[in-house]
Structures are given as structure tokens and as C-alpha cells.
Amino acid sequence: MEKIAVLDSGGQYCHLIARKVRELGVYAEILPVSAAPAKLERFKGIVLSGGPASVFADESPQPDSGLFQLDKPMLGICYGHQLMARYLGGTVERGETHEFGSADLRIRWHADLFAGLAGRQRVWMSHGDRVSELPPGFAALADTLQCGIAAMARPDRGLYGIQFHPEVAHTPNGLRMLCNFLEKVCGCRMDWRPRDRIEQLKRSIREQANGRRVLFFLSGGVDSMVAYTLTVQAVGSESAEAVYVDTGFMRSGETAEIEAAFRAMNLGKLQVVEASKMFLGRLQDVIDPEEKRAVIGKAFVDLQDEILAGERFRGHDWMLGQGTIYPDTIESGGTQSAAVIKTHHNRVERIQELIDEGRVLEPLAEFYKDEVRELGRALGLAPRLLARHPFPGPGLAIRCICNGAAARPEPDAEIAAVAEQWGYRSFLLPLRSVGVQGDSRSYAKLTVLHDGPLDYAGLLPAATAITNAFRRTNRIVAALAPQRLAVEDWRIERASLNAKRVSLLQAADRMVTEFLYREGLYSKVWQCPVVLLPFACAGGETIALRPITSVDGMTAAVAQLPPEALLALARRMRAIDGIDAVVYDISHKPPSTIEWE
């Protein structure tokens, strides 16, 4: 089987590159960027990933000195492009501005990489440094307004470097570029499919379990259901058991729906544990998002230990099964040089201890969401289950934003000037959310655009322009109801998790889900988080709608829902007692993550 090596420089998209290569039909294996050249001889080609570091930094990931002496086709992406230039005699310098988001690429020379493509392409940028002088023997292939050497090549050696990210969905023809590299430059056959790994996955499950029983905590989502189904088919229902924990942070009606779906799958017994008081009690005064995730992860482990100490399990050797997938581990800093964007609840300290002890089974840890769905179809899971929107393990707890001190909206003249160019007023809120900019974690303030139309042609470019220019903000929302905010009347309140706030969020979430089904939009939206913010003018809260489109969750675009229907929904939601305003999250990923926390 032919293989491509993806060398990991710590980029959030490293594993996405590998997944795209596998999607095209070539098996990809991930190795550290420092891998010895001898280990790379068996690969048909090499891709150098992007990364959060600067090539100038002392601790930045660096390749083995012999890497570029290999007689192998190579494609350097972003940081990898800069490494290639620097090691082969070119010049890399810090850019005057950072480029995050969509850019217009002008192709000067098509070579093999751009074969069959038009001369203008939309591409996705996420970088600060840039190549300013070509290495000897290289030619410039393309540029953008802010980047003179956006692509370079030395075709006689099969060496290509690109500053943008072809692996993300927001480079529309990026997959074609990767395909050109695999076929035309590396000469690969396209003969590998993810579903072909099912039997190998089952063998791996049996080897890891090694006679032990496996306990799964199911969330009802696609990942845990597919992981559990694989495990049952591998070791039998007598050696695998499922527990569903109602944390109190589930969507309205979720527990009954999950019980019904599990019975229909005929996978054995499901134990339902009601634990809402425990979870809410532990999170009552927790404000920090990372601490929330740690508390939730620890609570799940404590429940596991309590269950395993019971009479039913006493005397048996057990391990914990989880539906962890690649994005969960990547954003938790799970690759060698990756920046921590947010800690997944499956990667908190106690879980990591169990992993180190060899007591955790994660059959899907190398797969992305779309691949998990493909595996689920091959395993015979119901289409309705596989089509469910992703839902985070911590549930609504991380969509209920908390705040430790009252505050007022903050004027920002520089951001306001950019917003005015697109016909909007703006202000900053000192409510922070998680983002990913330049492959690194950001934790920045929220920008609110208001007093303007719900016009995507203006809102989306305004959001990109603001987050590209100002690192102090990484997420932009547009006011829906009301569309104009009298800023002096609004304030951020102190707020923590409590039953009243969670109940309000559940009601809003249910209304949005019903709207998506009613308008025929559910299948067109990959996910629609509904977020509760302690931003008020009359003692209530603000609801943020976050509908996005995506393939794998690693990147996402704002879902452009029909404006009139969306505004009507916002007005109905504002009529709910306790909701003062409704806003629309118009931030792509990057620079924002899908979830706010």
C-alpha cells in the first residue's frame, strides 16, 4: 500500500491534511517534523504541515537537517512552506500584518500543482511570517495582495511550497491541488477507503481489551454510538456495557430520545444514571471555561469509579471506552507540537492518567466526523442517528457563558472605524471566548455589530476584516433582535451556572431545533450551538445563534440562513421571558472555534 507522510509541526490542521489525503484514496501516516530521513524512505511523498510557531523562535519545531536532501516529492504548507524556503536558501521575514481568513490567489504559473485550475482562486490564509525571497532554483507560482510568494516550486525536484491551507473547506479547490500533488507529482494510486479499516479496528479493540470488559459513557451522539457499536461487534455485548449519564446539561427531551435510539439498535442494556444535582453542584461557582471542562471530566470519572465499585462490576477487570475523535485530541494539544486551543473533557488530568495506565479504549481516535459517519453507515447504524448534529460531551454547560464581575460594553474606535466601512456600529464586550488564530489558541473579547441590516455581503467581510486586523477580538456577532442597541442601557451581569439559566437555554435550544426542521434547514446546517450570554438590559440574558457548515469540524463557515425567517425566529425568541436580545455569531473557524468555550 502506497503511503504519504505528513510531518507534524504542531498545526491544528495537521491531521486534517492526513484525512484529506486518505479521502483522496492514499493512506497517510503522521510523523513528527523531526523524523529521521531514514524513516521517510518508504513513503511516496512528504507533506510538511503548518504550525503555531514562528520559524524564528528558538523552540520552534525543526526538521532533521537531511530532510531536504531526500529524493522525495514534498509539499510545504504554511509553516512547512517557510521551513522549505529557509532550509533551501530562501528568506523568511515577519509580515507587517497577519492574514487570517479568505484571500484571492493569483496563479502566475500552473505547473503540476495548479493543473486544471483557473487563474484566480479563493484560498484560506492563517499566518504572520512569510517567504520574501525564493530559494535558488525555485520559481514563484502565485501571489495574493498581502503575500508576494504565496506559492513556489522547483518541479525538477518535486518540491512545492504554499502559504495557504489547501486542506480546509474554505479553499474551494484545495482538494484538487492536493490531488494534483498526489497524482501528478508523487505518482500515487488512489486505492484506500476508511471503511476498509473496520476489521482492523475490531482486531485492535480485541487486542486492547485483552479479555477485559469495556464500559462506555454514551452521550447519544454519533461518535460514542459508533465507537460502542464497533466494540460490541468486536467483543460481544456480554463484554461491553453502556451507561448514559443525564448531567442536567442535555437538550430538552434528549434522554428519552437516546433511550429509544439505543433500544432500536439492539446492542444490549443501557443503564441511565440521573446525576444533574451532582454536576450542577460541582459547577455552581465555576466561571473559567477550562476549569468547567476539568470539573466535568473529573465528575464523569468519579461516576465511573462509583459504578465500577458496585456489586455488578466488582471482581471484573474493566477499562473505559470513549468516542474521542481527532479534533478532540488536536485542540487539546494532543500532537507533539500542537497548541492547546481548549481542553476536551475526554483529555482532563484523570482521564490522561487512565490513558497512561492503558485503561482507556478509543477506537475512533484517528478519525474525523465525516469518517465516523462513513464507518457508522458501514456498521448499519440508522441514518437518522448518523445525521444528528454534533453535541459536546459537556453539553449545555459550555454553552452557558459565566462571568465573575459586572461590566459595561467597551467602545473601540479602531474596530468601530472598520465596522462603519460596512455600514454598522460596533462595540466590544469583555466576555471572552476561545478562538484559533495562526494555529494558536486565542482567548479574546467579543465584538458586537448592530444598527445595520442582516446582509451577509456586508457582515461576513466586516467580521473577517476586524478579526484579521485586531487580535483583541476573535468572535463577531450581529444583533438580530433588537437590531439597534442603545449601548448605555446594556451591561454584562455576574453569572454562574444554575438551574434557571440552564432551563432557559434548553427552551431556546429547542425552539431553534424546531425552527431548523420546520424550515427544512436541519440537514443543511452541520451544527447550530445556541449560547446563553449574561448580557442584559432588563435583567434577562442574550441568546447567540451559531449555525455553521462544515465537513469535519476542523474548519467551519457561517451558515447563511434565510434573513427574513431568521429575524422572525429572533423576534419570537425575544418574547420568551428572560431573553433580552438575540444575536447571530458570524465568525468562521478560524478565527473562532465552533463552541465558545
Catalytic annotation, residues: 78, 165, 167
- The CATH number assigned to the domain holding 564 equals 3.30.300.10
Q: Indicate the pairing of strand 3-8 with strand 240-246.
A: unpaired
Cell 528568506 maps to which residue? 91
Neighbours of 549 (CB within 10 A): 16
CB 392 within 8 A of CB 595: yes
Cis-peptide into 194, omega within 30 deg: no
Q: Which cell goes with 408?
A: 459595561
Q: Which CATH number fits the domain that encloses residue 267?
A: 3.40.50.620
Q: Determine the residue type at 17.
A: I
- With b for 16 or more beta-carbon neighbours within 10 A and e for fewer, the 528-547 pattern comes to bbbbbbbbbbeebbbbbbbb
State the residue range of the domain holding 58: 3-185
Do 88 and 115 lie in a common domain?
yes
Number of separate domains in the chain: 3
Residue 114 DSSP label: T
For 152, 164, 537, the CA distances from 136, given in Å and listed in that order, are 11, 22, 62
Question: From CA 110, how far away is CA 141, in angstroms rounded?
Answer: 7
Residues 74 and 49 placed together within one structural domain of the fold: yes
Give the per-residue pLDDT at 345. 52
Quote the cell numbers at residue 157: 525536484
Residue 595 located in a structural domain: no
Question: What's the confidence (pLDDT) of residue 343?
Answer: 52
Nearest CA to 229 out of 127, 119, 380 is that of 380
Any bridge partners for residue 6, and if so which? 30, 47
Over the chain (597 residues), what is each successive 10-residue block's mean pLDDT? 91 81 90 94 96 83 93 96 96 74 90 96 85 96 92 97 91 96 96 88 96 87 92 93 92 87 82 93 91 88 82 78 76 51 57 82 86 91 84 88 95 97 96 74 91 96 92 96 96 95 97 97 95 96 96 84 98 96 94 90
C-alpha cell recorded at residue 303: 461516576
Supply 453's cell numbers.
441590516
- Please give the pLDDT value at position 263: 82
Q: Are residues 215 and 153 in the same domain?
A: no
State whether 166 and 214 are in the same domain.
Answer: no
Whole-angstrom distance, CA of residue 137 vs CA of residue 145: 24
Residues 566 and 468 in one domain: yes
Q: How far apart are CA 243 and CA 130, in angstroms?
A: 50
Last residue of a domain, one of 164, 185, 206: 185
**For residues 439 and 461, is the Cβ–Cβ distance under 8 A?**
no
Q: What is the DSSP letter of 135?
A: P
Assess whether 361 and 280 both reside in one domain. Answer: yes
Q: Is 275 in contact with 304 (CB distance < 8 Å)?
A: no
Q: Which of 535, 465, 584 is nearest to 100 (CA)?
A: 465
Q: Are residues 429 and 526 in the same domain?
A: yes
SS3 579: strand
Please tell me whether residues 134 and 276 are part of one structural domain: no
Q: Which three cell numbers stand for residue 484?
A: 439597534
* DSSP-derived secondary structure for 313-329: TTTS-EEEE----HHHH
Q: Which of 103, 7, 99, 4 is nearest to 50 (CA)?
A: 7
DSSP string for 6-65: EEESS-TTHHHHHHHHHHTT-EEEEEETT--GGGGTT-SEEEE---SS-TTSTTS----T
Identify the bridge partners of residue 589 per DSSP, sorted by sequence position.
556
Dihedral of alpha carbons 515, 518, 521, 526, sign? positive
Q: CA-CA-CA-CA torsion for 479, 484, 490, 491, nearest 10 degrees?
A: 30
Half-sphere exposure of 336 (CA within 13 A, CB side): 17
Q: What share of the chain is helix, strand, coil (3-state, %, to 5)?
A: 35, 25, 40
Examine residue 405 and state whether it is found in any structural domain, yes or no.
no
Q: What is the pLDDT of residue 283?
A: 95
403 belongs to a structural domain: no
Q: What span, in angstroms and rounded, lies between the C-alpha atoms of 506 and 574?
A: 15
Question: In sequence order, what are the residues at sequence separation of 6 or more whose Cβ sits closer than 8 angstroms to the Cβ of residue 58?
Answer: none
435 falls within a domain:
yes
DSSP 550: -
pTM score: 0.74
Of the residues 131, 151, 185, the one at which a domain ends: 185
Distance of alpha carbon 243 from alpha carbon 563, whole angstroms: 41
Whether 594 is covered by a domain: the verdict is: no
d(Cα 159, Cα 152) in Å, to the nearest integer?
8
Say if 406 falls within a structural domain.
no
Please give the grid coordinates belonging to residue 450.
448592530
Q: Are residues 75 and 145 in the same domain?
A: yes
CA–CA gap between residue 46 and residue 63 (Å, rounded): 12
Could you tell me if 386 and 426 lie in one domain? no
> How far apart (Å, rounded) are the C-alpha atoms in residues 502 and 65?
55
Backbone conformation region of residue 130, classed left if phi is above 0, alpha if psi is from -120 to 50, else beta: beta
pLDDT attached to residue 191: 86
- Residue 540 within a domain: yes
Distances (CA, A) of 549 to 122, 127, 225, 585: 17, 23, 22, 13
The amino acid occupying position 597 is: E
The span from the CA of 271 to the CA of 273, in Å, is 6
Indicate if 135 and 257 belong to the same structural domain: no
The pairing of strands 213-218 and 151-154 is unpaired
Q: Which three cell numbers stand for residue 283?
A: 459547577
Asked whether residue 436 falls in the same domain as residue 575, the answer is yes
- Listing DSSP states for 380-412 in one string gives T--HHHHTSPP--TTGGGGGB--BSS-B--B--
Q: Quick check: is 400 in a domain? A: no
Any idea what the CATH number is for the domain that residue 157 is in? Answer: 3.40.50.880
Peptide bond into 172 cis (omega under 30): no
Q: Which of 150, 185, 220 is the last residue of a domain?
A: 185
